[in-house]
């Protein structure tokens, strides 16, 4: 009789299956999961690995001294960061803009004129149109009095205000004008420059200044100049108020670093693609090469810098030369990234087209052997590198009640998406691809412009609702839930995350619909794309219709919507897909760890 532990080191978690083996039979005793320490496939994994094993032993009433053998997976590390490579970077030379959506703008409509400080109105002797700039030391009452006094003498078409006084000033004006307030950097507003101020009706959004042709009309721009204001117009879409100011030529400059090219290399051929052409073309190049030896980026570009950073990080962790680090796979997806508008006066951003990239480093069994040797020395137990993750996962998946050969599995973790297929004769074909849960989290963080990665992770994992009163919420599916006791006033009218601990408000100014859209599309871009890509690679004929049944395993299979998205996508190919239930008790988790145990017992027979 032997006590055996199978350990699956993942990008986010380390899982253990503990079993007793005797006479070729296996009796599973316990399981455990902890957070992975360090980047997957490096020596830093040992601390988390040891912790997970000791906790599993404790659950079974055993100690390390009772353990006879440990099997660990062959771990191909995936760099957790996703590089957002901007496809286009616009150089803005003639525009400064404000569009920060203050809660209390004043008036309605659009006003165009030359900027002037309010205290300088007495010096005007011409008949031009003006936009008054009101500093914080001028009170709303005084500002209204001054504007009312000069409106019969000067053409005042709008106002830009530092304080939160837009409504207060507007209420006291004899002749209403559009007013944008809460402009933090009021001292940076250029004076004597042509500007346009627009305020929409309550519930509406600006129409002229969110349209590049609208800006071109206001400022009499030619076609080349109109191209330069596209980022400004995009940044103002959805805002209730906005200001655009034309500044002297060359006043605002931006250095451009090209996105660059990516080169995919195999023994037989190479494929080169410019990141500017987007994710579809990059993935077409990746998929055109059967056995990738390495992927490189053009030096001096964003793509080159990102891929070299991957090599450097892995070089530092594995003590190998950067040139020895080979990138095995890459997943690219089209996305949007908030870019700060150069010349903005209220930290304005616009959503720029970008490509998100996750890169996976080629598995180094020698590195895993070093981890196994070090762990064995530490605890005095035989440790072996058990096998390819996807192969082990399919062994574990077959412990799901109701499954049988032939079968395909999708192992969806934090860093990678793996697929395996086993035929009636027990022959296994597998693939290991970059991109999974971590990439989805970073896409959500980037597209929503969040500072907090943990918030993006929570948005990925949990459903949402809108608090519509102190006694009811509306769930994202449209259903309404009422409460007998009043909810906390601080969450009123906010979008909340529905976690086990209660309702967690999202403080960022984001609509429920926007968050849901970004969350779902991010999951589709990564998991649906990789599911189809992986299953095609393991299909005997490269055709998904040759696969009948798919079982989903891994941490991301626990997600409340990812399995449904994949099931819907695969249904178009007449593929039946569903979550695994490893050993009938574990759900979709613990497949690789369970498979490692079963594999070790088979080898010992």
Number of residues that make up the chain: 605
Q: Are 530 and 522 in contact (CB under 8 A)?
A: no
Place of tokens 């032997």: 2
The secondary element (H helix, E strand) that includes residue 2 is strand 2-9
Q: Read off the pLDDT of residues 524-534 as tens digits, 9 standing for 90 and up.
A: 999 999 999 99
23: Cβ contacts below 8 Å, ≥ 6 apart: none
Q: Are 311 and 339 in contact (CB under 8 A)?
A: no
pLDDT at 344: 52
CA distance 290 to 79: 22
Quick one: 95-246 is in which CATH superfamily?
Swiveling domain of dehydratase reactivase alpha subunit (3.50.30.70)
User: What are the structure tokens assigned to 306, written together?
Assistant: 């990102």
Q: Read off the pLDDT of residues 363-372 as tens digits, 9 standing for 90 and up.
A: 666 678 888 8
| 43 class by beta-carbon count within 10 Å (0-12 exposed, 13-18 middle, 19+ buried) | middle
pLDDT at 93: 40
pLDDT at 78: 62
Query: Can you give the residue ranges of every domain in the chain?
Result: 1-76+365-398+590-605, 83-89+256-361, 95-246
B/e letters for 93-114, b = 16+ CB within 10 Å, e = fewer, are bbbbbbbbbbebbbbbebbbbb
Q: How far is CA 165 from CA 11, 108, 308, 509, in A?
A: 51, 15, 51, 21
CA distance 185 to 135: 10
pLDDT at 32: 96
pLDDT at 347: 53
Beta strands in 500-594, from DSSP E residues, in sequence order: 502-505, 549-553, 576-579
Beta strands in 10-102, from DSSP E residues, in sequence order: 13-22, 25-35, 69-74, 83-86, 95-98
User: What are the structure tokens assigned to 422, written together?
Assistant: 């086993």
Q: Are 412 and 562 in contact (CB under 8 A)?
A: yes
109: Cβ contacts below 8 Å, ≥ 6 apart: 177, 178, 198, 199
Task: Please determine whether the domains at 1-76+365-398+590-605 and 83-89+256-361 fall in the same fold group of CATH.
Answer: no
Q: Are 490 and 505 in contact (CB under 8 A)?
A: yes
Q: Taking Cα atoms as reference points, which of 80, 54, 333 lies closest to residue 46?
A: 54
pLDDT at 164: 87
Secondary structure of residue 407 in the 3-state scheme? strand
Please state whether the peptide bond connecting residue 406 to the residue before it is cis, i.e. omega within 30 degrees of 0: yes
Any bridge partners for residue 21, and if so which?
2, 26
Q: Read off the pLDDT of residues 34-76 as tens digits, 9 standing for 90 and up.
A: 999 987 878 888 999 999 999 999 999 999 999 999 999 886 6
CATH number of 83-89+256-361: 3.90.470.30
Helix axes 512-523, 437-448, angle to 10 degrees: 150
pLDDT at 238: 74
CATH number of 1-76+365-398+590-605: 3.30.420.40
Q: What residue ranges of the chain have pLDDT lower than 50?
A: 80-94, 250-255
77: Cβ contacts below 8 Å, ≥ 6 apart: 11, 39, 40, 41, 42, 314, 360, 361, 363, 415
């Amino acid at each position: 009789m032997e006590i055996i532990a199978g350990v699956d080191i993942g990008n986010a978690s380390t899982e253990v299956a503990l079993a007793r083996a005797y006479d070729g039979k296996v009796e599973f005793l316990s399981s455990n999961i902890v957070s992975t320490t360090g980047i997957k496939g490096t020596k830093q994994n040992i601390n988390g690995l040891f912790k997970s094993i000791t906790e599993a032993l404790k659950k079974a009433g055993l100690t390390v001294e009772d353990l006879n053998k440990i099997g660990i997976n062959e771990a191909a590390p995936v760099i957790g960061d996703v590089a957002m490579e901007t496809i286009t970077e616009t150089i803005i030379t003639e525009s400064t803009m404000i569009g920060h959506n203050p809660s209390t703008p004043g008036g309605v409509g659009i006003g165009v004129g030359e900027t002037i400080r309010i205290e300088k109105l007495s010096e005007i002797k011409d008949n031009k149109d003006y936009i008054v700039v009101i500093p914080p030391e001028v009170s709303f009452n005084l500002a209204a009095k001054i504007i009312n006094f000069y409106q019969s003498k000067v053409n005042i078409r709008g106002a830009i205000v530092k304080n939160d006084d837009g409504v207060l000033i507007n209420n006291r004006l004899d002749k209403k004008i559009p007013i944008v307030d809460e402009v933090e950097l009021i001292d940076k507003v250029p004076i004597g420059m042509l500007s346009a101020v627009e305020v929409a009706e309550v519930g509406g959004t600006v129409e002229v200044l969110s349209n590049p042709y609208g800006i071109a009309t206001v400022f009499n721009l030619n076609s080349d100049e109109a191209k330069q204001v596209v980022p400004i117009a995009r940044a103002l879409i959805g805002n209730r108020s906005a200001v655009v100011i034309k500044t002297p030529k060359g006043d605002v400059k931006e250095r451009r670093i090209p996105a660059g090219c990516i080169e995919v290399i195999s023994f037989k051929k190479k494929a080169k693609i410019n990141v500017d052409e987007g994710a579809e073309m990059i993935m077409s190049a990746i998929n055109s090469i059967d056995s990738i030896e390495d992927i490189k980026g053009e030096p001096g570009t964003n793509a080159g810098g990102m891929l070299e950073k991957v090599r450097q990080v892995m070089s530092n962790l594995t003590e190998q030369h950067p040139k020895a680090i080979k990138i095995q796979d890459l997943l690219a997806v089209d996305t949007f990234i908030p870019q700060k508008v150069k010349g903005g006066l209220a930290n304005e951003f616009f959503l720029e087209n970008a490509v998100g990239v996750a890169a996976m480093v080629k598995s180094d069994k020698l590195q895993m052997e070093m981890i196994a040797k070090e762990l064995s020395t530490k605890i005095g137990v035989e440790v072996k590198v058990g096998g390819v993750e996807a192969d082990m996962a399919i062994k574990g998946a077959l412990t799901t009640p109701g499954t049988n050969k032939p079968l395909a599995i999708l192992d969806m973790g934090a860093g990678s998406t793996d697929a395996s297929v086993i035929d009636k004769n027990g022959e296994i074909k597998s693939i290991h691809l970059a991109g999974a849960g971590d990439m989805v989290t970073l896409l959500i963080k980037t597209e929503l412009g969040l500072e907090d990665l943990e918030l993006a992770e929570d948005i990925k994992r949990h459903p949402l609702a809108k608090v519509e009163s102190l006694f009811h919420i509306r769930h994202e599916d449209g259903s309404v839930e009422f409460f007998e006791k009043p909810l906390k006033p601080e969450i009123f009218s906010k979008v909340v995350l529905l976690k086990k601990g209660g309702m967690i408000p999202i403080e960022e100014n984001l609509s429920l619909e926007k968050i849901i859209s970004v969350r779902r599309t991010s999951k589709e871009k990564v998991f649906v794309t990789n599911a189809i890509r992986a299953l095609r690679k393991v299909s005997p004929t490269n055709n998904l219709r040759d696969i009948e049944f798919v079982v989903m395993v891994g941490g991301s299979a626990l997600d409340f919507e990812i399995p449904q998205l994949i099931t819907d996508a695969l249904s178009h190919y007449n593929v039946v897909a569903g979550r695994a239930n490893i050993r009938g008790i574990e759900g979709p988790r613990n497949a690789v760890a369970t498979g490692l145990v079963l594999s070790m017992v088979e080898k010992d027979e």
